[in-house]
Amino acid sequence: MNPELVLVLSNAPDELLAKRIAHDLVEEHLAACVNLGAPGLSMYMWQGQMEGTSEIPLTIKTTRARVPDVIHKIKSLHPYEVPEILVLPVIGGFEPYAVWVHEQTQAPAT
């Protein structure tokens, strides 16, 4: 398994923004694939207040090398002051899929 493969977890406040983030990440070769989950309720404390917000979860498949650009892209599109962006290592999986992710996240030749 390629140790450079990672999952980035994030979310969006609505489906339109979730699709925009996913589209931009894949089109710009920052991610091989982005899964949009079903809307769910996120409960959290923000500035001393309990918040409950419907959000669309995003699971982003990319490589460790692309993480800084993925974070920058999400932050540039996201309305939250502090969007959720978590990077998780992938410790196993189907090798041909890992190779495909690596190929899809290579910067296009100019």
Query: How many distinct structural domains can be found in the chain?
Result: 1
E strands, 1-110, where? 5-12, 33-36, 40-46, 49-63, 86-89
Pairing of strands 40-46, 86-89: unpaired
Task: Confirm whether 110 is domain-assigned.
Answer: no
Residue 23 lies in a domain: yes
User: What CATH number is attached to the domain comprising 65?
Assistant: 3.30.70.120
The predicted structure's pLDDT at residue 2: 59
Flag whether 55 is in a domain.
yes
Nearest to 13 by CA among 56, 47, 52, 46: 56
Other Cβ atoms less than 10 A from the Cβ of 30: the count is: 25
Residue-by-residue pLDDT tens, the chain, 110 positions: 555 999 999 999 999 999 999 999 999 999 999 999 999 999 999 999 999 999 999 999 999 999 999 999 999 999 999 999 999 999 999 999 999 999 999 977 76
Structural domain boundaries enclosing 37: 5-104
